[in-house]
A and B are shown apart, each in its own frame.
Chain A
Amino acid sequence: MNCEEMIRLISGYLDDDIDELMKNILESHLVECERCLSLLHTMEKTIFFSREINKRKKVPERVIRKVYCEVRIRYKK
């Protein structure tokens, strides 16, 4: 299998969503191919950075209060 075919396996590999055979083929390829290995690492880092810039924030108090109010009004009807 060539690099292009390997690239298609990389996301599945990161998701642990490829079968053992494909996993072994990809891992053997990664030992020999720096470019694909670099792609794997940078893709992993992309996901990591994306999570880091999207850390959980607290719901603003006024927002949650407004929603509670709306719900109470509807329950009273």
Chain B
Amino acid sequence: MGTNGEMKLVERAKKGDVRAFEDLMKTTSGKIYNLGLRLMRNKEDASDILQETYMSAYENLPKFKGNSSFSTWLYRIATNFALMKMRKEKNKKVSVSELQETSGNLYDKALPDWSDSPVDHLKNQELKEVLGKAIDSLPAKYRSVFVLHDIEGMGIAEVADILSISGPAVKTRSHRSRMYLREKLSEYFRQGGAEAQTHLSKQERI
């Protein structure tokens, strides 16, 4: 839906047209649910975020002036709810100093190149878990940048706008998150994942 069509629906929804609000939900609920799922990595929280986002959007609709698109505005609301939830999480998070270290002090380590690993590797539950846990262990302000920028595919300016931070802050957090996750996957391949890689390569040759 174009921005004009979206704004017309917003105006109708503001005047009390529930169908217009439902149409807005139809076009955006998939995005918001998946954003919640990607940020929180569980269906219950994603469902809560979806509900909280639309309830808050309904309450705050009169304040929406259309300075950003309706979807971006919803993304901002949903991300804020997710950030509140993330800060209550009890799983262990990597410290910011470790993130800084991972992204700087690299060349004293062996650096395996596992970039040829086939996507079939993701059928391996262990690898999915390693990566999923590593994403979960990113502190809230890093995970939100990684999810919005690298998984949702938003540009740096849009991420900065949604999170109300500067572009350089987005770039720094994005780079550190990528370096940390890359290192976690490297550890996996160094430790035993390499065996799986060799095994798969042999199978492919057969």
Contacts and interface: CB of A to CB of B under 8 A. Distances in A.
A54 B182 contact: no
Instruction: Describe A's contact surface by its main secondary structure.
Output: helix
Contacts, number: 122
Given A41-B115, A46-B181, A60 B107 contact: no
A44 interface: yes
B119 A52 contact: yes
B135 A74 contact: no
Interface string A36-59: 001101111111111111101111
A66 B55 contact: no
A59 B21 contact: no
A15 interface: yes
Given A42-B182, A53-B122, A54-B38, A8 B175 contact: yes
B52 to A, nearest CB: 10
Nearest to B103: A7
Interface string B85-115: 0000000000000000001101100011111
A49 B122 contact: yes
B54 interface: yes
B169 interface: no
A72 B175 CA distance: 43
Given A12-B171, A43-B178, A71 B21 contact: yes
10 contacts: A4-B104, A39-B182, A43-B179, A48-B119, A49-B119, A54-B147, A63-B33, A67-B51, A68-B22, A71-B21
